[in-house]
Structure 1
Amino acid sequence: MSEIPDQNSNSSQPIFTGNAPSGSSSYAQTLGVEAPPDPSKQVFQEPSSSGDSPLPPPPFEEDNKKKYIIFGLFGLLFLFIVFLIISFLSSRFKGKTSSGPVTITYWGLWTEKEVMQLLIDDYQKTHPNVIINYQLQDKKLYKERLTAAIDRNEGPDIFRFHNGWGVMIASYLAPVPKTVYSDADFDANFYPVVKEDVNRGGNYYGIPLSIDGLVMFYNDDMLKSGNIPVPTTWGADFEGAAQKLTVREEDKIVTSGAALGLADNIDHFSDILSLMMLQNGTKVSESLLRCYSNQSGKEELLQSTTCGSDTLSYYHKFTENPNSVWNDVFESSLTSFASGKVAIIFAPSWEALNIKALNPNLNFKVAKVPQLVCVEDPCSDVYLASYWLEGVSKNSKNQAEAFDFLKYLTSRDVLQKKYEAEARLRKLFGDAPARRDMADTVGTNEYLKPLISEAPDMKSSLFVSRTIDGESGINARLEKYLKDAVNALNKGVGADTAIQPVDNGLHQVLDGYKAASAATNK
């Protein structure tokens, strides 16, 4: 659900003025022509004593050369003024379909219409010539409807998309102008993962309003009753807590210590598993069979190729007897957590709203996701990002106005107003702003504080869930490959064997989209 100012002010038209000739010189003198004598002002001189008569005046000669120069200068000045007027008008109305107000169509998701309209109304007070038509979209077939509309040149000017869509949406986006966000400003304002996700060829494609990702939810009463500290690392720390929190009656698990190990009844299982792979050195958006070390801050390719399969095996052990803490008898992890049947689950922060809706009296808290036990110096924490951005269509005829509105939307004051309006409406909290300089402002919220502390160290994955990218989308297809691998382990298939089709599928899906994108851009 997380689901991302002001360059459109009117410039005044230049005013050009010319100064008329001043002083006592006449228009004829200005042209370099000697005026005929004024009889009323003639002075008669007495003849000289020598008897010489006065000399006659010189004959009148018109200076045509100087006249042509003056006329030429006036002509050039006139052409220059016409050029400036045409240039001004063309830049002023560039992209407009008419001389009237510009209408920006904005397809949104998750952000309530009343919240967005509050921000739009403030914007239009200073931009009366821009009309923002915000349309809250149904999530059903959203990506398909969006891309089809843009292909028909009927799509919105601004639209929302998920950071996991990657190459699926790249060819539909216009780059963010450097006058809206310079490279330095973009990097300074937003978390590093945003740059990694949307920077291509030196340009940024998309601006986030908010940030979200995977966090750990835990039942505070259960942990306190067992005197169990909140686990911060995988291995003995987390496994010990999960075992102690699990309640068994004979061979049945009555209360689960943690929802891990399966795919079918664990919400966001692909987010959890791909985060574990990222922490274990797998670049999940490139290959599951290559492993990297980040020792001393320097990335190094390792000889080992089992980091992906090792992680898959570790994930599955939480459902393997005799020490299983979760099984297929439970309902979905989210429903089980809300009903008090599991102590720890993992999900994006926005799921807190759904948990509260399911059980308003549940005493739960949020913490950062555990990390691997540190064996390197310095230690590098890794968390998973899953958030939404606003983009401008490459086919929009009003790109300048659209980007100006997005600059306004992503300003600190406006995002603060958006957050406060959402918090009032949703009761618990609003979307965590994507701006780094707002971390202290919203990081005091008990539900968002862990998320905000994770944000500087987030990475993205193509295996994220709930991105509504459709059955043919990258995320949906890769999630299916990963689910098949987990289910294969349930049937006794080894992790090394189960991971191979996932890696093959990753390359097949990416190659297909890259080829389609290259063909579109020809």
Structure 2
Amino acid sequence: MKFSTKQIIVIIIVIVIVLFVVLAIAIGRKPIVQKEITLTIWGVNDSQEVLKSVFEDFQKKYPKIKIEYTKFDEADYETSLINALAANKGPDIFMFHRSWLGKHKDKILAFDKTKISLTKLRELFPSVIEQDFSDGQNIYALPLYIDTLATIYNKDIFDATAIAIPPTTWQEFKILIPRLRKIDPKTSAILRAAGAIGGSKTSIHNASEILNLIMMQANLSFPKNASEQLSFPLESEELLSFYVEFANPKSLVYTWNDGFSQGSLETFSNEEVAIIFDYQDNLKILKKKNPYLDIGVSSMLQFDLDKPINFANYWGLVISNKSKNPAAAQSFILNLALNETNSRKYSQLSGRPPALRKLI
């Protein structure tokens, strides 16, 4: 069978197109690394044991990538990290606090927009992630969890005082205070506090965050310049005295003072306070201090249940701009933060609330 010149040209074009498609597919399936490399990761709080299983999942997909993880104490972490990056001895990937983008953005790389876009970020995570980890154009970090303040209560104390469910609003909490607290009738000393609130950082390690949350919930409007005045949707006197009245001996809701110098976590573990307002991440500390505690966890108290507002504290993973393997680092973070199975596994092992919307 003879082909005309035109038919031969068409056949050649078809063959070229087929070869191009096959080549494109082959390139698309090309692994992110052709030689063995090591990804170094620095973090806080999480032990090697917690992350081991999710590391293994990644290494099954990319057997030529070795993972080396180093855990730091949170108190020393930022200084150690900055010094290491300045000396070109930092990690490929590191944990990045939600408050760091403004001061450490120059040390990290943005994610490839074709891998994770702002639209996809909004679909996968709560809005706080975009607020903290994006500059409006690029995404710089992805979270493994989102921890928020919660109402942590002693179930045994609630049972003993015939309180079936924890309070959901600040007003409900105020009403329950006389039932939950114990006061020495002779000395007026607090034998058991209803809640750890009203004190300074001396007795409540996260006092400033609780106070900030109260301000946020009250929709406090701060002045833009000296000529403007503060505006309060709630009565100003009530708002300004709201926090400290819990530590005022003359108040009907008096339930705390800085005499609890061992701190709110220690006081709770000793069953000397019925409620603390803290992050769920600290549950493991409480259980370690007192394994026999019957602990309940409920949503953080609100002024308005129809408009809940909470305070978040969490870390994300970022790619160092000094990394020699940024593509592999990006693949690792995406595999861990966006994969539902890995995210669920991390949440179960770490005991922290998940970040993905589908798992919340």
Which position in structure 1 is the counterpart of 2:247? 319
1:433 corresponds to 2:360: no
For the residue of structure 2 that corresponds to 1:321, the secondary structure is: coil
1:354 corresponds to 2:282: no
Query: Closer, same or farther in 2 for the Cα pair 1:317/1:166, shift >3 Å?
Result: farther
Letter in 2 for 1:388: W
For the residue of structure 2 that corresponds to 1:103, the secondary structure is: strand
Please state how far the C-alpha of 1:368 moved relative to its aligned partner: 0.9
CA deviation profile, 1:373-420 (whole Å, cap 9, x unmatched): 46xxxx311011111111111222211110111111121112223334
Query: Closer, same or farther in 2 for the Cα pair 1:138/1:343, shift >3 Å?
Result: closer
Which position in structure 1 is the counterpart of 2:326? 399
Query: Closer, same or farther in 2 for the Cα pair 1:431/1:334, shift >3 Å?
Result: same
Please state how far the C-alpha of 1:303 moved relative to its aligned partner: 6.5
Tell me, yes or no, if the aligned pair for 2:39 and 2:68 is still in contact at 8 Å: yes
CA deviation profile, 1:88-133 (whole Å, cap 9, x unmatched): 8xxx899x9xx73232111122222123232222322221232222
Structure 2 portions without partners, runs of 5+: 3-22
Tell me, yes or no, if the aligned pair for 2:280 and 2:352 is still in contact at 8 Å: no
Tell me, yes or no, if the aligned pair for 2:38 and 2:68 is still in contact at 8 Å: yes
Tell me, yes or no, if the aligned pair for 2:142 and 2:318 is still in contact at 8 Å: yes
Which position in structure 1 is the counterpart of 2:343? 415
Task: Write the distance in 1 (CA, Å) between the matches of 2:112 and 2:119.
Answer: 13
Give the ranges of 4+ consecutive aligned residues of structure 1 lying more than 3 Å apart after TM superposition.
Answer: 302-312
Which position in structure 2 is the counterpart of 1:40? none
**Higher Cα Rg, which structure:** 1
Tell me, yes or no, if the aligned pair for 1:163 and 1:197 is still in contact at 8 Å: yes
Which position in structure 2 is the counterpart of 1:147? 82
Letter in 1 for 2:276: I
Which position in structure 1 is the counterpart of 2:199? 262
Please state how far the C-alpha of 1:306 moved relative to its aligned partner: 5.2
For the residue of structure 1 that corresponds to 2:313, the secondary structure is: coil
Aligned partner of 2:210 among 265, 269, 272: 272
Letter in 2 for 1:401: A
CA deviation profile, 1:193-249 (whole Å, cap 9, x unmatched): 1111111041111000111111011122222332335221113x2212123322111
1:234 corresponds to 2:170: yes
1:171 corresponds to 2:102: no
For the residue of structure 2 that corresponds to 1:345, the secondary structure is: strand
Query: Where in structure 2 are the equivalents of 1:113-124 lying within 5 Å?
Result: 113-124=48-59
Query: Closer, same or farther in 2 for the Cα pair 1:252/1:93, shift >3 Å?
Result: closer
Letter in 1 for 2:265: L
Query: Where in structure 2 are the equivalents of 1:290-305 lying within 5 Å?
Result: 304-305=230-231
Please state how far the C-alpha of 1:261 moved relative to its aligned partner: 0.9
For the residue of structure 2 that corresponds to 1:381, the secondary structure is: coil
- For normalisation by structure 1, the TM-score amounts to 0.57
Task: Write the distance in 2 (CA, Å) between the matches of 1:133 and 1:309.
Answer: 54
Larger strand proportion of the pair: 2
Please state how far the C-alpha of 1:317 moved relative to its aligned partner: 0.7
Query: Closer, same or farther in 2 for the Cα pair 1:340/1:110, shift >3 Å?
Result: same
1:282 corresponds to 2:220: yes
CA deviation profile, 1:466-517 (whole Å, cap 9, x unmatched): xxxxxxxxxxxxxxxxxxxxxxxxxxxxxxxxxxxxxxxxxxxxxxxxxxxx
CA deviation profile, 1:171-196 (whole Å, cap 9, x unmatched): 21211111221222211111111111
Tell me, yes or no, if the aligned pair for 2:223 and 2:229 is still in contact at 8 Å: no
Task: Write the distance in 2 (CA, Å) between the matches of 1:336 and 1:289.
Answer: 38
Task: Write the distance in 2 (CA, Å) between the matches of 1:248 and 1:201.
Answer: 52
Query: Closer, same or farther in 2 for the Cα pair 1:338/1:178, shift >3 Å?
Result: same
Letter in 2 for 1:256: A
**RMSD, matched Cα:** 2.8
What is the identity percentage for the equivalent residue pairs of Structure 1 and Structure 2? 31
Query: Where in structure 2 are the equivalents of 1:20-419 lying within 5 Å?
Result: 100-228=35-163, 229-235=165-171, 237-249=172-184, 250=186, 251-263=188-200, 264-282=202-220, 288-289=222-223, 304-305=230-231, 311-323=239-251, 324-330=254-260, 331-373=262-304, 379-410=306-337, 411-419=339-347
Query: Closer, same or farther in 2 for the Cα pair 1:196/1:220, shift >3 Å?
Result: same
Tell me, yes or no, if the aligned pair for 1:215 and 1:368 is still in contact at 8 Å: yes
CA deviation profile, 1:37-89 (whole Å, cap 9, x unmatched): xxxxxxxxxxxxxxxxxxxxxxxxxxxxxxxxxxxxxxxxxxxxxxx9xxx8x
Tell me, yes or no, if the aligned pair for 1:109 and 1:137 is still in contact at 8 Å: yes
For the residue of structure 1 that corresponds to 2:195, the secondary structure is: coil
Tell me, yes or no, if the aligned pair for 1:318 and 1:326 is still in contact at 8 Å: yes
Structure 1 portions without partners, runs of 5+: 1-22, 24-83, 291-301, 424-429, 440-522
Tell me, yes or no, if the aligned pair for 2:44 and 2:77 is still in contact at 8 Å: no
For the residue of structure 2 that corresponds to 1:204, the secondary structure is: coil
